[in-house]
Amino acid sequence: MMRYGGNTTSFRIDIDGIPPIFVDGGTGLYEEGIRLASQPGPLRIYMLVTHTHWDHILSYPLFEPFYRQDCEVTFFAPVSEKADFPRLIRGQHHDRTFPRSFNEITAHIEYRSFSGGEKFKLDGATISAFRLNHPGITIGWRIEHDERAVCIITDNAPVENNYLGEGMRERAAADPQAFEKEFNDSLTDFILGADLVIYDTHFDEAGIKNRRHWGHSTPQTATAFALEAGVRHLLLHHHAPEDTDFMVDRKLDEARSIAGEQNLVVEAAAEGMVLWL
C-alpha cells in the first residue's frame, strides 16, 4: 500500500481565512501534530469527527498541539446516547492504556455535539451534518464556502435491509421500504451538486457479501450516489487494511467504468494527496 498509503483516516481541509479543519484523528494525524507543535502560537484548530471508532480517533491523545496552552480547539463530533464525546476522548487516556493523563492537556478544548440534520455557519463557511448508516452514531459532513462544496461520507453502508447504529432499526421498523427510500433520497440531497465527495469504499462487490453489517460501501454504491447527485469529483476512501495498491486500482477501474462518459471525475484517496477546489 505504498501508493495509496497505510495510515487510517485523517485529512485536512484548508479554506482561505479560516483555521485549518482536521477531519478525524486516524494515525495520519500524528505527523501533522508534530509539525504544528513547532509553529509559533497561538494556534486555532477545528476538528470535525465522523465517529468514534478507533481508526478515526486513535491519534488524538498523541496530537501535540493539545499539550500547548496557546492552542484553542473546537471539536464538532457526534453525540451518543451511551457516552458523550468528551467522555470518549478522556477514555482514550485510561491510565493503563496511555502514558499521558487527560489532565496534561493544556489546550483550550470546546466540544459541539451533533446527531445529524444540523446546519451552521463557521466563520465564512457553512457546515451541515447528516446521520449515516454505520454502527454507533456516525455523521457525514458537508462543508460549503464561496460556492464550493466538499462532502465527507465515511463510514457508511448501503441501507437496504441493513439498519446500523443507534436507533436506526427502530426508525425503519414501521415501514422499512419508506425508511430506505427516505434515507437514500436525503443522502443524495445532502451531496447534491458537490464539487468533491469523499466516500467510504472499504469493500468491493465480492467483499461486502455477508459483511454489510460492518457498515461500509463499495465503489458501485459510491458511484451510483455521486452520479445521481450530479457530483463533480468522487474520491474513493477508507481502503480496507488488507487492500493492496493493485486492489485499490481495481476498485478505481470499476468506479470509472460505471461513471463512463458521464461528467464525473473518480480518483482514489492517496496519502499526501492535495486537492484544490
Partner 1 sequence: MALTVCFWGTRGNVMSVARERLIYGGHTTCLSVRHDHEMLIVDAGFGLANFLECLSTETPLSRGGHKFNLLLSHFHWDHIQGLSYFVPIYFPGNEIVIHSPFEREVVTEILNLLFDGSYSPFNGLDSLPCTWTFRKLEHGSEIGSFRVDFHETAHIGETYAFRLVTEAGSIVVATDHDASRTQINDSLVDWAQGCDMLIHSAMYTPREHQQLGGFGHSSFIEAVRNAERINAAHTLLTHHAPLRTDGELAEMEHNLQHMYNTDTRRLSFAKEGEIYIVR
Cross-strand pairs, 266: 234
CB of 28 to Zn ion, least distance (A): 13
Instruction: Tell me whether the omega of the peptide bond preceding residue 176 falls within 30 degrees of 0, making it cis.
Output: no
Distance CA 94, CA 54 (A): 14
* Residue 154 found at the interface with partner 1 (CB under 8 A): no
> Would you say 270 and 3 are in contact if contact means Cβ atoms under 8 Å apart?
yes
Which CB, 53 or 68, lies closer to Zn ion? 53
CB of 60 to partner 1, least distance (A): 11
Cell of 48: 470535525
Work out whether strand 139-145 and strand 148-153 pair parallel, antiparallel, or are unpaired: antiparallel
* Residue 19 found at the interface with partner 1 (CB under 8 A): no
Figure out which of the listed residues 26, 33, 45, 53 binds Zn ion, where binding follows CB under 5 A: 53
Interaction partner, residue 97 (partner 1, Zn ion, none; CB < 5-8 Å by kind):
partner 1
Figure out which of the listed residues 6, 42, 117, 124 binds partner 1, where binding follows CB under 8 A: 6
Figure out which of the listed residues 7, 18, 55, 171 binds Zn ion, where binding follows CB under 5 A: 55
Distance CA 221, CA 153 (A): 12
Cell of 217: 460501501
- Return the residues of window 25-84 that contact partner 1 according to CB under 8 A: 27, 30-31, 34, 52-54, 57-59, 61-62, 80, 82-83
CB of 110 to partner 1, least distance (A): 21
- Helices 219-228 & 176-190 angle (0-180, nearest 10): 70
* Residue 155 found at the interface with Zn ion (CB under 5 A): yes
Interaction partner, residue 58 (partner 1, Zn ion, none; CB < 5-8 Å by kind):
partner 1
CA dihedral 136, 251, 47, 86 (to 10 degrees): 20
User: Phi, psi at residue 228, to the nearest 5°?
Assistant: -60, -35
The site for partner 1 (CB under 8 A) is made up of 1-2, 5-8, 27, 30-31, 34, 52-54, 57-59, 61-62, 80, 82-83, 88, 91-92, 94-99, 135-136, 214-215, 241-242, 271
